[in-house]
A and B are shown apart, each in its own frame.
Chain A
């Protein structure tokens, strides 16, 4: 079955540290890839997405992600995190499924940034 794996369940960083969150998916065909963020008490928001083209995707709030097809990976990065980046981050894949393109989520990574 198709799945999305996020390697880090809980990450703790100090402000200004660099961030990289791993995401791998298991599907051999064409995929659309997403990173969502859920701030405490808030709903899911889209950070960035990849459909095609340049595999290095830039999103909001200084985040970027790189799609490496050969590794089935879509890792999220940020060069310098801030306290306000404390949130839960979800990687997701859209697979063609009866035309409705349902999202499959990873387990999430909880990021805590300390001042």
Chain B
């Protein structure tokens, strides 16, 4: 089946630094990838839609200058949390949709970010 990986799985950084999270579709091409944030014991909230070769589309309330998204190839999207603060600590999950698929998304294992 379709596999999506994320790296790193866990990261701890100091306040004010930037952190990059990678999302890769391992065995399929994904024109569209999605970035979610999941707070403890809560649901996934869509942050942005990442489109290969074009600018990401951000959901209302998500700061595009803080959460930089790059989707440079059909198998890789990156999320950079810039100038991280403790309130950015969360579980970040990506998903990828097959370019020629039927609206199904495959999810990565998530990245636990802790900002100290």
Which A residues have a C-beta under 8 Å from some C-beta of B?
A: 32, 34, 36, 42-46, 49, 51, 90, 94, 98, 100-108, 110
Contact = CB atoms under 8 A, between A and B. Distances in A.
Contacts, number: 49
B97 A101 contact: yes
14 contacts: A32-B103, A36-B107, A42-B109, A43-B110, A46-B106, A49-B104, A51-B103, A98-B57, A103-B44, A105-B45, A106-B43, A107-B42, A107-B43, A108-B43
B46 A103 contact: yes
A90 B95 CA distance: 15
Interface of B: 32, 34, 41-46, 49, 51, 57, 93, 95, 97, 102-110
Contact of A104 (B41, B46, B109, B110): B46
A36 B95 CA distance: 13
Contacts of B97: 100-101
B51 A100 contact: yes
